[in-house]
Amino acid sequence: MKVKPYSQNAYTPVPSAFTKFRRNCVIWQFFRFIVINIKMTVLILKSHH
């Protein structure tokens, strides 16, 4: 996809090829799955009163 100069898309950061790779890399994402679950669990524990 070519970015048109002065269009909306021209002013936003977009992921590099490496970032895209990491987002879909099963091994890396397995670790992220654990991290996300930990972060959400901490949040839930903090929220119950």
Residues of this chain that interact with another protein (CB under 8 A) are 1, 3, 8-9, 11-15, 22-26, 29-30, 32-33, 35-37, 39-44, 46-49
Q: How many CA atoms lie within 13 A of 9 on its CB side?
A: 7
Is there a contact between 5 and 12 (Cβ–Cβ < 8 Å)?
A: no
CB contact set of 15 (below 8 Å; sequence gap of 6+): 23
Least distance (Å) between residue 8 CB and another protein: 7
Beta carbon nearer to another protein, 5 or 14? 14
Least distance (Å) between residue 2 CB and another protein: 10
